[in-house]
Amino acid sequence: MKLLVVEDEPSLLTSILEYFTQEDFLCEGVSTFTQSLQKVEDFQYDCIILDINLPDGNGLMLLKYLRQQKKDDGVIIISARNSLDDRITGLDLGADDYLIKPFHLSELNARVKALLRRKYGKGVNLLETGNLKLDLLSRSVTCNDQQVSLTKHEFDLLTYLLNNQNRVVGKQAIAEHIYGHETENMPSFDFVYSHIKNLKKKLKETGCDELIQSVYGLGYKISV
């Protein structure tokens, strides 16, 4: 999968690039509007991660250009401005998703994967790890061919962890993913722990124990 990251902040750019390189993406990063225009003219990308505020132009202009040229590269906008107008403009111009800074890389990863699944459709709606199978369309989970019934939050949690396989996903990232911006004013993330506990218990009943590991209280991880 080819990924283009357009972000003018070098540190953030390297972080994103590093993360997605580890995810086996073919990553390229640019930090100006001109460079990004050059790139999209020359190459086709599966997904473009696009910052709106660039030193020499607006990221939305690139999006406009892409859609005018009938290029169907997936675009995820990352912006420091959490204004509804920006979001609507972005989505109207044909962005696939919109993420507000500061975001979690695991969240960005999950969004990119969701985008790619939507884009390339069939066959990839099944997430598999060992004996565990998760069907995104029917929202069902089987473990050792046994149905596991999960609540909405537990299902979302499991999907999120599976999307970020072999990675430690922080409690904060999980909380924000499940509850969205509701968590902004939540003083604690203890509820993540209880969700994980319940999920582990249900998985254990069907023999998929030891799947979710806790990492020093930092977060959780599913390893293959």
Partner 1 sequence: MKTLLQRNTRYLLTWLPVILLICCIAFYVLMKMQAHHMQEKQLQLKQSNVWMAFVKSNGTIPRAIQGEFDIVPGILKQTTKSLSPRDTSIYLPQKNKILPFELLSSQFEWNKDKYIVSAYVSSTEISHLIIKVFITEAVILLLLLLSIVLLNKRNSQILWKPFFETLTKLKEYDVTRNESISLPDETNTKEFKELNVAFVDLIGKVNIAYYNQKQFVDNASHEMQTPLAIIRSKLELLINQPGLTESTAAQLGDITEANDKLSRMNRTLLLLAKIENNQFLNTESINFSDLLHREVSLLKKHYDDDFPTLTLSVTDDITLVANLSLLEILIHNLVINAVEHNIQGGSISINLSNSLLIIENTGLPLSQPAQTLFERFKKGSHKSRTTGLGLALVKQICVLYNYNVVYKYAHGLHKIEVTFP
d(CA 213, CA 20): 22
Spell out the long-range contacts of 80-85 with Cβ–Cβ below 8 A and sequence spacing 24 or more.
Answer: 80/52, 80/53, 81/52, 81/53
Q: Position of tokens 């609540």?
A: 151
Of the candidates 157, 166, 223, the one whose C-alpha atom is nearest the C-alpha of residue 191 is: 157
Tell the smallest beta-carbon distance from residue 212 to partner 1 (Å).
Answer: 16
Tell me whether residue 91 or residue 186 sits nearer to partner 1 (CB atom): 186
d(CA 42, CA 97): 23
Q: Position of tokens 């537990």?
A: 154
Q: Which residues bind partner 1 (CB under 8 A)?
A: 9, 11-12, 15-16, 18-19, 22, 80-84, 100-106, 167-168, 170, 172-173, 181-182, 184-188, 190-191, 194, 215-219
Tell the smallest beta-carbon distance from residue 108 to partner 1 (Å).
Answer: 9
Tell me whether residue 74 or residue 219 sits nearer to partner 1 (CB atom): 219
Tell me whether residue 5 or residue 143 sits nearer to partner 1 (CB atom): 5
Tell the smallest beta-carbon distance from residue 172 to partner 1 (Å).
Answer: 5
Tell me whether residue 149 or residue 185 sits nearer to partner 1 (CB atom): 185
Tell the smallest beta-carbon distance from residue 101 to partner 1 (Å).
Answer: 4
Tell the smallest beta-carbon distance from residue 8 to partner 1 (Å).
Answer: 9
Phi-psi region of 130 (alpha: psi -120 to 50; beta: other; left: phi over 0): left
Tell me whether residue 123 or residue 187 sits nearer to partner 1 (CB atom): 187
Tell me whether residue 15 or residue 35 sits nearer to partner 1 (CB atom): 15
Query: Amino acid identity, residue 115?
Result: L
CB atoms within 10 A of CB 5: 28
Tell the smallest beta-carbon distance from residue 11 to partner 1 (Å).
Answer: 5
d(CA 223, CA 72): 33
